[in-house]
Structure 1
Amino acid sequence: MRDRPIYLDGHATTQVDERVIKAMMPYFTEYFGNPSSNAHVYGWEAQAGVKKARDAIASAINAEPREIIFTSGATEANNLAIKGVAEAYFQKGRHIITVETEHRAVIEPCEYLQSLGFEITFLPVEKNGLLNLELLTKTIREDTILVSVMTANNEIGVIQDIEKIGAICRENEVIFHTDSAQAIGKIPLDVQKMNVDLMSFTAHKIHGIKGIGALYIRAKNPRVNIASQIQGGGQERGYRSGTLCTPQIVGFAEAINIALKEMEQENQRQKNLRDYLWQELKQLDGIYLNGDLNQRLAGNLNISVEGVNGSALLLALQSQIAVSSGSACSSTSTKPSHVLKALGYSDELARASLRFGIGRFNTFEEIKETASFTLQTIKTLRR
């Protein structure tokens, strides 16, 4: 019996890498100044740390440093992007397109705008979780001001064809936003090649700390305008006022640097672990893979289990495996996953799902133990 369960909820959050903590520590103690203070060395030291981090984060997505705006996380970045575009462009049009399988941090800001008189189109997805690009093209209208499609899904891990979606938006002169919270540091991202105008991401999905994220805002070809949502001191080019937390920003950049450096090797390792887990689990009848197997994050496996109660399954697993049935933001809800419902699943099958999020610190021994215990648990519950 383990003292603590095996952690396999890496899409909810990840263990902070010690190298990230080490990079942050001097900015809590020695370089503690306010990066907005221009009159003395303490401010200059903090400014230097922020500048270096901003440069590194911009480079990671092929952006310019001035296009990176720091936020408290991807949720705030999504809200700033969606509400900011709506407020800045409402005279041009009030139609926004997004997808049924988006994170609640995109869906709920859209629903809020809907209550203010904007028209929101929530596009369905194919059974594999991918967006039909012909449908997207047909849905764009003259008054469409924004399309928001997440890069990699937080539940089923499927990766959308962002480059093609971006090209469609660019051709139709529509602003394109993508929530890349689950994608940054896991797959290559290039805002120029992908024709992305706004991109949200965060640190804690890639072994950084919670409470820090960023929004990329295109500055040219074309320049994108958004209305700020937090006013005050004018920090972050006026888009997002508030004193910057230098240690978090430095740690964010370090997390991205590590992830990019180890991406190829780590993706292959995680894919091997995921594929082993799937091969073991699918030996049982009535176990379904959710989402496209090939066009998905290396560390993601999402399954639905026939013939068991979803709550009972999670309860039976939790002593040995820390795993979820869907988004951490919805983990207390008794409603079935809106993502799996969008894939056409029944309420019962959508509730009886497991999301395995494999991370940097998981071992083959852990995955082997997970497969064995999960199979044993499903058999027991079915009996």
Structure 2
Amino acid sequence: MSTDNKIYLDHNATTPVEPTVLEAMLPYFTEHFGNAGSDHAFGWYAEDGVETARMQVAKLVNCRPVEIYFTSGATEAANLALFGFCENQKVKGNHIITCKTEHKAILEPMEELERRGFAVTYLNVDGEGNIDLHQLEEAFTPKTILVSLMYANNETGLIHPIKTIADIVHNRNAALMVDMTQAVGKIPVDLKNLDIDLGVFSAHKMYGPKGVGALYVSKKKQLTLRKTLFGGNQEKGMRPGTLNVPGIVGFGAAAALATNEIIEEGNRLLKLRNRLENQLSKVDGLQINGQKQDRLPNTTNISIHGIDGSKLLRQFKNLAVSRGSACNANLVSPSHVLKAMGHSDELALSSIRISLGRQTTEQDIDNAIEEISSVVDRLKTVSL
């Protein structure tokens, strides 16, 4: 299928690899192909590439390189963190606090932890997607060991007040894990200032390659995670298996790029997003979800009253956007995020996420406004 003339507005799903990132990776597929665990020149060169990337990633999020462990992605990192930490803390307690709007990469491990005997409290959110900090405080029990909350929501872009949450959690002698996948590379993330204990993020959300992510483990409190994977001592035993050296090098290159341009690019995207939302707000029956809240500069989530959601995306001939729901094979279910925010099934199914990126231009935004407005008008006319 040709993607010519298509406008890609789904950067929260994945991003294209930047040419400079690809250029940095290519030698590690061919001339510098060694195994980073090999004790000879080829291995040493590969290991140097990995450690350079570790420093680049650590610099982006302002932590120590020794606190970064490379994984196959944020989902694997989340599993390592959740199961490794919680299983190691059973003597202290078995209670975990999270939120109903977390990504499935967090919610599904939580379900498994419940099957293993842990108790999980799922915080509610208001109509804009915010958690109630008083409800968070009241959710603690003497057995609470961990709070797991995302930095920025993947569907709405809403940003949680992580520093304030960290203070609440630490005052209760629990640990804080943060899914930072949508935040890192889009907005400044300062781990020393945020004072979180565990964090996960991924390269492919920030113009790096797919198949590589990072687990952050703070050394400040000397946290220990029980091993959940076995078969080698790579990444200090945290994540055994041959390292994906080209992918890790690409992760580092993408981190270096973001470090240099994150403020400027964020401001550019915010202007484009505001242009998009100002025009879409004029469309009859269209609402912008979480509009009044602190959000990622690139993310817009819209719902259209009175539109058949099953027909909505199929009408877009030139736009690549995301449905505001999870699709599993032929089953389409309403977004759990929007339902938690109080949307009906019907309205949640009539929602789409638009996420801008480095390639997005002002002309792309104008074209998107025109096509979305035209499709909504056409579908409303048909439904009359």
C-alpha contact (below 8 Å) 1:154/1:327 kept by paired residues: no
Q: Structure 1 residue 315 and structure 2 residue 324: aligned?
A: no
Q: Which amino acid aligns with 2:261?
A: E
The gaps in structure 1 that reach 5 residues or longer are none
Deviation at 1:333, TM superposition (A): 4.2
Q: Which amino acid aligns with 1:275?
A: N
Who is 1:362 aligned against? 360
Equivalent position SS for 1:288: strand
Who is 1:90 aligned against? 90
Alpha-carbon distance in 2 for matches of 1:327, 1:310: 10
Who is 1:8 aligned against? 9
Cα–Cα, structure 1 residues 136 and 330, in superposed 2: closer, same or farther, change >3 Å? farther
Alpha-carbon distance in 2 for matches of 1:361, 1:46: 31
Who is 1:154 aligned against? 154
Who is 2:260 aligned against? 261
- Alignment: residue pair count: 380
Moved more, 325-334 or 131-140: 325-334
C-alpha contact (below 8 Å) 1:287/1:306 kept by paired residues: yes
Q: Please, what TM-score do these two structures have when normalized by structure 2?
A: 0.96
Deviation at 1:36, TM superposition (A): 0.9
Who is 1:372 aligned against? 370
Alpha-carbon distance in 2 for matches of 1:87, 1:381: 51
Cα–Cα, structure 1 residues 191 and 172, in superposed 2: closer, same or farther, change >3 Å? same
C-alpha contact (below 8 Å) 1:98/1:148 kept by paired residues: yes
Alpha-carbon distance in 2 for matches of 1:327, 1:234: 39
Alpha-carbon distance in 2 for matches of 1:123, 1:92: 22
Q: Structure 1 residue 229 and structure 2 residue 228: aligned?
A: yes
Cα–Cα, structure 1 residues 180 and 135, in superposed 2: closer, same or farther, change >3 Å? same
Cα–Cα, structure 1 residues 166 and 330, in superposed 2: closer, same or farther, change >3 Å? farther
Cα–Cα, structure 1 residues 183 and 116, in superposed 2: closer, same or farther, change >3 Å? same
Alpha-carbon distance in 1 for matches of 2:135, 2:17: 40
Moved more, 204-213 or 129-138: 129-138
The gaps in structure 2 that reach 5 residues or longer are none
Equivalent position SS for 2:200: strand
Deviation at 1:30, TM superposition (A): 1.4
Deviation at 1:281, TM superposition (A): 1.1
Aligned identity (percent) is 45
Who is 1:25 aligned against? 26
Alpha-carbon distance in 2 for matches of 1:64, 1:379: 53
Q: Please, what TM-score do these two structures have when normalized by structure 1?
A: 0.96
Moved more, 337-346 or 118-127: 118-127
C-alpha contact (below 8 Å) 2:326/2:333 kept by paired residues: no
Equivalent position SS for 2:334: coil
Cα–Cα, structure 1 residues 332 and 274, in superposed 2: closer, same or farther, change >3 Å? farther
Q: Which amino acid aligns with 2:290?
A: G
Matches within 5 A, 1:48-59: 48-59=48-59
Equivalent position SS for 1:29: coil
Matches within 5 A, 1:178-197: 178-197=178-197
Alpha-carbon distance in 2 for matches of 1:329, 1:174: 35
Q: Which amino acid aligns with 1:35?
A: A
Deviation at 1:188, TM superposition (A): 1.3
